[in-house]
Amino acid sequence: MATRYSESRTLVRGLRRVPGETRLEFKSKVFRLRGYFKQFNTDVSEICQWLMGLRPGGKRGNSGTDAFWKFFLEPDTFLAGQEKEEGDLHRRLVFDFVAGIIKSPLLSEILLSDELSGAIQALYLLVPTPTATKLFERLKTLDAGHRQVLLKAAAEWVVSRYQRGYENRERQKAEWGKEKVDWENKHLELGAEIRTAFTDIFKKLGIREKRARVCSWERLKANKDNCEYAGVRISKKNHNGFCQRYRDFINTADRSKKKFFPKNAADYLKLRVQYPKDSKKAWEKFLGNNPNGRWFPDAWETYLKVMNIKEATIIKKNSGLPHCTQFGDDDECSHNKHTEKCKLYQAELDQRPDLQPLEGLYREWRREFLAAPAKPTFQYPSQNVLPIPKIFGKGYFRTDFASSSLELRLDEMKEGEFIHIGIVPWPKGYQPQPEKMEVTSVHISFSGTRGRAGFHFNVAHEKSRFGVSQDAIDELRSRAYPRKAQDRQFLENARKLLIESFDGELEKNLRMFVVDLGTNSAAAASFAGKEFKKSFPLKVVKIEKLYDATPEPTKSEKKGETDKNTAQKGTGLRLPHVAKHLEVWFKKAAEIGEKKRELGVHDLRRLALHLRWMIRDWVRLNASQIIMKAEEEKSDLIVFESLRGFRAPGYDKLEDEKKRRLAFFSYGAIRRKVVEKAVERGMRVVTVPYFKSSQFCSKCGKEHPDLKELKKDKRARKFKCPFCKTEVNCDENAARVLGKVFWGEIQLPDEVGEKH
C-alpha cells in the first residue's frame, strides 16, 4: 500500500555580481529589485485590506458578497475538476471585472453559480473607497501575469493568517463550550452565583487576566509576608530585594564564612539590642563569646555596604536580618510583602467567608472557562515586520544554473525584456540538483539590504509505508480534535488511520522514532513495532542556554576570528551573537518605555525581524538533527509530545527575563519543520499526550510517588523507579514512555489545574 506524494520546496541563494560587472552596477540592480520588493509588499497589503473589508461581518461586506469572499480565497471549490492554475486565472478575471480593468464578456467562459454571479454584480456596483480606487488604477498598469501573482499571494496570506485561524477558533469555541458545561456539571458546588461573586471581586480589583497575579486564599490567610508575585525570583520562590543582595554578597564569601555568617550575625544583633548605644561593648562581648569569629567585623562592614542598609535600621526593627539566608526550592521567603492587590483581595474575601473554601476551585474554572478562545489577530504583510517575497511566475524568469545566473522580467518590462543578475552557486551536495528539477517560481526577498532569490520547485517524496497522507493526520488534529483535552481522542483515531493504511503488520514491523524535547536536554527512543530497541540523547541546541548572561567576547573574537568553544552550528547561533542582540533589545525597550518622545525611536522592528530569523535558523538546525537521526534508524513514524496549551512550570510567577528565554523554546515550530522534512522522506509524524510523561517509569508503567525525590534525580539527569528499581536517563525514560503512550500501554492522566 506504499504511496508517493510530491511537495513544493524552496532553496534560497544569495544575489551576487555576474562576471565582468562592477560593484556599482550590481548595487544599482539590487537597489532596483529592492524597490519592486517594497512595492510588492505594499500592493499585497492593500489588496488584503480591500479583501478583509468584504469578509462576512466586515465593514463593506454583506450577505450578497459572501460568495465572492469564498471564491477569492479558494476558487478551486467553485471550479470542480479544473487545474489549480485555472483557479488562479479565474480569480484574476473576476477581480479584473470587479476592479473595472476588463469588461464582463471575458467572463463568459467561467461557469459561475447564480450566487457567485450575484455577488460579483453586487460588488461591481459597490463604490470603491479612495484607497481601493488608487490600488485599482495602479494594478491596471501591470501585466496580467504580475496581477495574477499579486492576487494569489494576497489570497494565500489571508487564508493562512486569518481564515484558517478563524475557522479553527470556531471549532475550538464549540468544543470549549462542551468542556465548560461538563466541568460545571461536575462541580455543582461552584454555582453561577458563586462564580459571578468571585469574578466581580477580580473586576473590582481591575484584574482581567484568566491567571490572576494575586496570591491564593490559602497563602493569604496565613498572614505571612511570602508573596508569590512580588520581589525577585530566586530558585523557585520569590524573595525580596534584600534577599537578592544577600545572596550576591554571600556567594562572594569563602565556604566557612558562607556557612557561619548567619549565626554570627544573629549573635551580634542580640548583643546590639542589649547595648543599643554602645557598639564597642557589643563587639567586645561578641569576640569574647566567639574567639573564632575575628573575621566577622570586616565581613559585617562589607555586608552593610552591599545591602545598602544602616545597622541602626536593623536594630530598630529588632527582628533579626531583614532577609532569608536559605534559598532552596522549598524555602519560602518570610520577608517578601504582598502586593497591594493581594491585600485588597484578602480584604474582600475576609468579608465573604462563604467564598473562601471554594477559592481554589474557582481559580481552576477561571483559568479554563472565564472566556472563550480568543479571536485570531490579523497582520498585513509589511517589508519591515512581516515581509512577503516578490514572486515571479512562469514566463517572468529564466535560470542558468550552469553559470549561476538569473534573469527576471520586472513589472514595466515588455515581453522578452529581462534584468540579469548573478546568484550563489547551487550546493553540490544538495538534492535535487538543477538538472533533475523544474523551477516553478522565483521569490526575491531582502534581509536588510542583502538580496536573496528563492527557487520554488516540486520534490517527489520517498515511498511511504502508510497509505494515509500527513495532511490527513494534521487535519484530524487541527479540525476534528482541536482542543488540548482531545489529545487522547486524536491519538486513538490517528493510530487507527495509521494501522489500517500500513503496508505490513504494524505492531511488529513499524519502525518508530520517539522524541522528547525536555526543557534542559532532548532524547529519542526507537521501537520496532511495540518492542523497544534503544534510546539515546539528541544533539539539540537549547537556545535559552545561549544567553543566561551576556558573555564577554573572547580574544579570538576581538581579532575577528571564531572561537570553537563559543560557536554553534547554524547561522546566527553563536553565543555572543544572540546575547548581543538581546542586550540591545532589553535596553532599548526600557528606554522607549520611559522616554519614547525624546529618543525619536518608536519600535524595534528591524531587530525583532533579525531575532525572528535567528530563531528560524535555530528551528531548522534542530529539525535537521532530529531528521538525521530518524533516517539513521530507518524510521517510518516520528512521535512527538503534543504540547498544545503548554506553559512552563510556574510561568505566571517568573521574572520577565526568564519569560523571554522560555519564549524561545519554539517546540511547535521544530515539530512543524520536522513534518516538512519527514514527509519528503516518506515518514509520518504524530503527537501523543504529554502530561506527567517524565513522572512515569517506562518499564513498569507506574507513576513515581515522590515528586521531591523525582526532581532531585532529574537534576542529576536520572530517573529511578522505586517499584521496579529501573535507573535510566530521565529524558530517555520520557521518550520511551511516549512510545508506550502511542501504543496505549501507558495511559497518562488528564491534566487538571496547574501543571507540575
Mean pLDDT by runs of 10 across the 756 residues of the chain is 65 92 94 95 95 82 77 80 72 90 63 77 84 93 93 94 90 92 95 95 93 91 89 82 88 78 90 87 88 88 90 84 85 89 95 94 94 89 87 94 94 92 91 89 88 91 88 91 89 93 86 86 90 88 49 46 43 59 68 57 60 75 89 94 71 56 67 89 92 88 87 85 89 92 89 47
CATH architecture of the domain 470-547+611-743 equals 2-Layer Sandwich (3.30)
Q: For 34, list phi and psi in degrees, rounded to 5.
A: -65, -35
Residue closest to 441 by CA, chosen among 391, 382, 405, 485: 391
- Position 754 scores a pLDDT of 41
- Position 250 scores a pLDDT of 85
SS3 211: coil
Q: In the sheet that 522-528 helps form, which strands lie side by side, from edge to edge?
A: 531-537, 522-528, 511-517, 637-641, 684-688
Terminal-to-terminal C-alpha distance of the chain: 43
- Measured distance CA(679)–CA(452) in Å, rounded: 26
Q: How buried is 247 (Cβ within 10 angstroms: 0-12 exposed, 13-18 middle, 19+ buried)?
A: middle
HSE of 245, CA atoms in CB hemisphere, 13 A: 14
- Beta partners for 718? 729
User: Would you list the DSSP string of 728-747?
Assistant: EEHHHHHHHHHHHHHHTSS-
| Strands 684-688 vs 637-641: parallel, antiparallel or unpaired | parallel
Q: For 452, list phi and psi in degrees, rounded to 5.
A: -140, 145
Helix pair 667-680, 605-632: axis angle to 10 deg: 50
* Contact call for residues 320 and 189 (beta carbons, < 8 A): no
- Position 67 scores a pLDDT of 85
Q: How buried is 456 (Cβ within 10 angstroms: 0-12 exposed, 13-18 middle, 19+ buried)?
A: middle
- Measured distance CA(97)–CA(104) in Å, rounded: 6
C-alpha cell of residue 523:
532524547
Q: Which residue has the cell 545597622?
A: 311
Q: With the CA atoms of 135, 136, 140 and 146 taken in that order, what torsion angle do they form, in degrees rounded to the nearest 10?
A: 60
- Beta partners for 633? none
- Position 554 scores a pLDDT of 47
- Position 252 scores a pLDDT of 81
Quote the distance between the C-alpha of residue 470 and its chain's center: 22
- Position 358 scores a pLDDT of 95
- Measured distance CA(634)–CA(683) in Å, rounded: 9
* Chain region(s) in the chain for CATH 3.30.420.140: 470-547+611-743
